Amino acid sequence: MNKAIITDHGFPSIEIQRRIVESAGFGLDEIQPICRTEDDVIRTCGEADVLLVQWAPVTRKVLQALPRVRCIVRYGVGVNNFDLDAAKDLGVCAANVPDFCVEEVSDHAMAMILSLCRRIPQDHHQIAHGGWGVNLLRPILAPSDLTLGLVSFGKIARRTAAKAKAFGFSIIAFDPFVDDLVFKEHDVRRVDLDTLLQLSDVISLHCPLVSETTHLINRTTIAKMKPGVILINTSRGPVVCEPDLIDALESQKMRGAGLDVFEQEPLPADSPLRRLPNVILTSHAASVSERAVETLQVKAAEAARDFLQGKRPKSALV
């Protein structure tokens, strides 16, 4: 029997996936304890035709060691734990679930933007430690006096832009891969990265993690930003060089940061980010709602089922 194997996941149950795959006449197994390394995947997944993967690395070494695997499906949008070049070279189909959390992540980004613009974390911190008053928190500017810069202009960033406009923000965006017509359709001004860094009062990161975006936010790019800028990251942790970010927050070059993702997850217990009063930290939770999690499970399972039925998954990347 052709089979899909779940290498790792964070769901309370896999009954949704089991129902979809098994009702089509295929097998579904999950690995316990979950796969964390290349060797874990190689050791446990030799009987798989399809791998359903959340965080486990699926590298060239893995794919070469598992010749039966002909399809890999990521529980999520990003595929930085997949070696797509290796998949293409070896004729392995790779798919993701691209649209399951557009509303959730854009909502999360907006919640962080508004909270930090209103200085809510700082005010909470001072009151919790016996303080009171707004003067230390000023200047507090109205959204209609602020420019929001979006790094990348995919679906999530576009929804963030639409929601931010309702509050009065001026919107600019940088994305070298999106057509000018898309910017015009959404009434967002297209700029280059340096211009975005120089003009934005709030910068929200929505880019994928690739070599060009790794540590995109670093000491050099931070130096180009306005004093008092706010940074939001709901994309991938390594887009930001955390030591440089911490320096900027401690020196007040940055007035605040909202971070849902980190270079190392879980965030280390001794990270200085945990003690800063001008940050919001969340546990890689931006994509989560009950609806989104169910959609993620359904779409990933359907991609696996479709491949096993001899169809190309709708969300296939290679």
Of 236, 255, 302, 305, the catalytic one is 236
Catalytic site residue 242?
no
Residue 121 φ/ψ, nearest 5 degrees:
-60, -40
d(C-alpha 17, C-alpha 33), whole Å? 18
Of 15, 250, 265, 294, the catalytic one is 265
Q: How far is CA 136 from the centre of its chain?
A: 33
- Answer yes or no: are the C-beta atoms of 258 and 112 closer than 8 Å: yes
Q: Which of 147, 146, 161, 170 is nearest to 109 (CA)?
A: 161
Catalytic site residue 215?
no
Secondary structure (DSSP) of 2-33? -EEEE-----S--HHHHHHHHTTT-EEEE-SS
Catalytic site residue 125?
no
- Which tokens go with 232? 């939001």
Q: Which of 174, 186, 159, 164 is nearest to 105 (CA)?
A: 159
Q: Is 124 helix (H, G, I), strand (E, B) or coil?
A: helix
**Which runs of consecutive H residues, i.e. helices, occur in the chain?**
15-22, 38-44, 60-65, 84-90, 102-117, 120-128, 155-166, 180-185, 193-199, 219-223, 242-250, 290-308
Sign of CA dihedral 310, 313, 314, 318: negative
Catalytic residue positions?
Answer: 236, 265, 284
